[in-house]
Structure 1
Amino acid sequence: MKKKILFICTHNKARSQMAEGYLRARYGDRYEPFSGGTEPGPLDPMAVEVMKEIGIDISGQKSKNLSEFNGVEMDVAVAVCDSARAACPFFPWANENIHAEFPDPTGTKGTPEERVAAFREVRDRITSWIDGYFGDAGKMK
């Protein structure tokens, strides 16, 4: 049976969406990923773009309010930003709650190249963390 993993972020439009998509694409045989936000907003097109660069299509994913998961048992809930941790320090229906902080690329100012570079950096940090935690040598293997 696949372990259920919930990624929590404030707006559920970039970091948690990238994490959900990557976990599904890379480790979907072992995990069933979800994501939700405390104040969900629309999926950021730049998150979709940088995930496509690594062969993962998240364009069909939708932002969801964390309340949609009330009462749904999860094996692990991962808060991926400080504001989500403050708003929801733990997910009461998870067997394990962890925090993995990643900067919010959606607030990056600058040229389009600087913005996409910020999204790529966050994507790479998220994918490395997921590989380390959920991958073959990780804690959750």
Structure 2
Amino acid sequence: MKILILCTGNSCRSQMAHGWLQSFDPSLIVCSAGTQASGKLNEKAVAVMREAGIDISHHTSDPVEKYLNEEWDYVITVCGGANESCPAFFGKVKHRLHIGFDDPSHVVGSDDFIWSEFRRVRDEIKEGFYTFYVENIKGK
């Protein structure tokens, strides 16, 4: 089963989703990409995933073009708010889904508030992708 998780910058939400999904089932082939890939991971995303016992520090922030010629069972977009536009994927895909989340990298405020938002989004991503996994993949 091949799953591509897609967002704009591929530095935060898609990386966390990638890490969670891979942790649910190591036999899955999971990749993540961005339409405007930043080329680096968000340090806070790496840190909050590490807190949850998942190391995503080895992930790479890749442009979506890297994956256009591959076939995918699922392509899942994770962009959230109304001011974000979800990227489209024009490759070969069996199922397209959207599971949207707020972008914690755009949060402003105190350090404590920013960290709490990263943790909140991390936990929401875990819940959303575990539901996806149970309903679409586990035992099938």
**Is the pair's TM-score, using the shorter chain for normalization, greater than 0.5?**
yes
Query: What CA RMSD, in Å, does the superposition of the two structures yield over aligned residues?
Result: 1.3
Tell me which stretches of 4 or more aligned residues in structure 1 moved more than 2 Å: 82-85
Q: TM-score, normalised by structure 1?
A: 0.90
Q: How far, CA to CA, are the matches of 2:85 and 2:73 in structure 1?
A: 18
User: Percent identity among equivalent residues?
Assistant: 34
Indicate yes or no: 2:116 matched with 1:117: yes
When structure 1 is superposed on structure 2, of 17-26 and 69-78 the one drifting more is 17-26
CA contact (8 A) 1:74 1:95 kept: yes
What is the deviation of 1:93?
1.4
Deviations 1:8-46 (A, max 9, x none): 0000000000011111122113x1110000001121000
The 8 Å contact of residues 70 and 91 in structure 2, kept in 1 or not, is answered as no
Q: Runs of 5+ in structure 2 lacking a partner?
A: none
**CA-to-partner distance for each residue in 1:61-119, whole Å, 9 max, x for gaps?**
1100000001110100000015452x31x443111001111000000001111111111
Aligned positions, number: 134
Note if 1:75 corresponds to 2:60. no
Structure 2 length as normaliser, TM-score? 0.90
Distance 1:99 1:68, change over 3 A: same
Matches within 5 A, 1:1-141: 3-29=1-27, 31-41=28-38, 42-82=40-80, 83=84, 85=86, 87-88=87-88, 90-135=89-134, 138-141=135-138
Q: Counterpart of 2:9 in 1: which secondary structure?
A: coil
Aligned residue for 1:101, secondary structure, equals coil
Q: Hey, what's the Cα distance between the residues in 1 that align with 2:70 and 2:114?
A: 35
* Contact preservation (8 Å) 1:77, 1:91: no
Residues 5 and 76, structure 1, Cα contact 8 Å, conserved in 2: yes
Structure 1: tracts of 5 or more residues without a match: none
Taking the aligned partners of 2:124 and 2:30, their CA distance within structure 1 comes to 18
